Amino acid sequence: MDHDASRRVPLSRPEVATMDEPAIELSGISKSFTGVPVLRDVSFRVRAGSLHALLGGNGSGKSTTLKILAGIHRAEHGGVIRVHGTRHDTRDYSPATARAAGLRFVHQELGLVPDLTVSENFALDGGFPRRYGPAIGWRALHRGTQEQLDRAQVRVDARTPVRELRPSDRTLVAIARALRDSDRGRHITLVLDEPTASLPQHEVDVLLGALRECRDRGQTIIYVSHRLGEVLEIADRISVLRDGEVAVDIPASGASRESLIEAMTGASVEPPARRAPGEGDPVGPALLRVQGLSAGALRCADLDLAAGEVVGLAGLVGSGRTSLLRALFGDLLVRAGTVILDGQAVTVRNPAEAIELGIALVPEDRAGDAAFLDRPLWENVSAASAGDYWSGWRMDRRRERSDALALLDRYDVRAASADAPFASVSGGNQQKAVLARWFHRAPRVLLLDEPTQGVDAAARADIHRFVRAQVSGGSAALVASSDAEELAELCDRVVVLREGRSSAVLSGPQLTEARISQLAQEDRSDLDVPEQ
């Protein structure tokens, strides 16, 4: 069933608090764990009918603030939470209180069951209508869900299984489900925690457009994200936490990426030095050359990678970005094509051979493919070099640990202890630890798949700086990312893949976020950039 605009029911503007009565107000919120302060007198207001961004790096207290607002953690005595004009003492504040007050949370894990329809997922949260006895009123369920979707202007059929929806539509379905009580005239504040972290750029654009419409209709939204570009694009006001305190609370119109990073870290962060823009040709002879490579989703890829260069891979999901990296690392069977490293044709049959050739891969799924989650952090750092510590018939564990600790310090990997399980460390520090593991081996070619996905802005800047420093020593990096902003700021050139083929190369003045996004989604016939 296709619901066009003429059939959609207009969404009435929800009743909101007056301007001098904010939708949300936190006053004097403090919290300690085992005597260690995590929040110190946190106070800020969220204006009704606005989109308010809450930012903060790892350890800033942002997650604790959200959990206090949700009633999961209890703030220390003296703090006050006001929700839609009602004052709540933190001593009596609970998840049930938060829900009754009108707070609705949508997390990165959406809480949707993929094999069930949209209607059935709504019913899991609100109950199934009954016809008589135990019989479910399916017609009433589908009709009621469709009406709620139409009011929220979510353009999906209520009978569609969730797994068949686009990623952005799944997020919008979760948002529509969270806002169902606003149909009954209730004050609802929506809290979105990293809603775009796993979305490709074109899906991010869809979601941000929907959120603008939602805000413009009067909905109050608290928006948490590591992506500063989208925060500056969509937010009305921004609060930044640092070391458990509110560092800044300003209108978004008065903020910039640089000022937000400085607020999050307490220091200005210099962007990584990039090669001077040229004509798009690699500087010097090719360190790595790929010709007609076919593997996985890849049909025919061509690219050159020179020493000292960072080259990006752009493209939609299924374009072959990850297939190219995995094929170069020997983790995917190559059907056709040639790989030339240092002027010699090579065949990489498995990751062990790739490592011997000086090729390293940092995969997209850090937890599943790049870590030993229950092992200490320092062991994860030394894992790729364990063979260096064999002495006779035993491992020199003392030297191994000492070298790992030096790497953790050099790459600013922060954790309660080097002996802490890898899984207990924040995402940004996990990623820096995985990078440190490979940097220690000084690879000739570094393959990075979504290198800063799910990390905060400060860790992202560190990772970019570390990559730049690594290639300055004569190696090269190939970076696959769905984040066009990242590719534009980190890379010397960007190769655009479409349907498994190299379709365009961007460099110099053409290397912009907008142009990368445009070319990744256009048909080959529309391209006006030379083929590689």
Burial class of residue 487 in the structure, from the number of CB atoms within 10 Å of its CB (0-12 exposed, 13-18 middle, 19+ buried): buried
213-265 pLDDT, tens digit per residue, is 888 888 888 998 888 888 998 899 999 988 888 988 999 998 888 888 888 87
Alpha carbons 54 and 94: distance in angstroms, whole number: 21
Res 132: pLDDT: 65
Specify the 3-state DSSP secondary structure of 87.
strand
In the predicted model, what is the mean pLDDT of residues 348-370?
88
Alpha carbons 448 and 477: distance in angstroms, whole number: 7
Do 252 and 140 sit in the same domain of this protein? Answer: yes
Check pLDDT > 60 for residue 3: no
Do 352 and 278 sit in the same domain of this protein? Answer: yes
Find out whether 162 and 173 touch, Cβ atoms under 8 Å.
yes
Alpha carbons 296 and 332: distance in angstroms, whole number: 7
Question: Can you read off the two tokens belonging to residue 496?
Answer: 């655009």
Do 113 and 163 sit in the same domain of this protein? Answer: yes
- pTM summary value: 0.67
Alpha carbons 504 and 520: distance in angstroms, whole number: 9
% of the chain at pLDDT higher than 90: 18
User: 224, 167, 222: which is closest to 194 by C-alpha?
Assistant: 224
316-332 pLDDT, tens digit per residue, is 777 888 899 999 999 98
The answer to whether position 459 is within a domain reads: no
For the chain, give the longest Cα–Cα distance: 78
Do 118 and 220 sit in the same domain of this protein? Answer: yes
115-155 pLDDT, tens digit per residue, is 888 888 888 776 676 666 666 777 787 888 888 787 767 77
The contacts of residue 271 (CB under 8 Å, 6+ apart) are 461, 464, 489
26-82 pLDDT, tens digit per residue, is 888 888 887 778 888 899 999 988 999 998 876 788 888 888 888 888 888 778 888
The answer to whether position 281 is within a domain reads: yes
Domain span at residue 415 reads 364-442
Alpha carbons 165 and 162: distance in angstroms, whole number: 5
The answer to whether position 462 is within a domain reads: no
The answer to whether position 33 is within a domain reads: yes
Check pLDDT > 50 for residue 530: no
Mean pLDDT (the chain) is 81
CATH of the domain at 501: 3.40.50.300
The answer to whether position 469 is within a domain reads: no
Find out whether 314 and 502 touch, Cβ atoms under 8 Å.
no
In the predicted model, what is the mean pLDDT of residues 101-116?
81
Do 206 and 92 sit in the same domain of this protein? Answer: yes
Do 125 and 222 sit in the same domain of this protein? Answer: yes
What is the number of other CB atoms lying within 10 angstroms of the CB of residue 129? 16
Alpha carbons 491 and 56: distance in angstroms, whole number: 26
Considering its fold, how many domains does the chain have in total?
3
Do 416 and 340 sit in the same domain of this protein? Answer: no
Check pLDDT > 80 for residue 472: yes
Alpha carbons 318 and 320: distance in angstroms, whole number: 5
Alpha carbons 329 and 308: distance in angstroms, whole number: 20
% of the chain at pLDDT higher than 70: 86
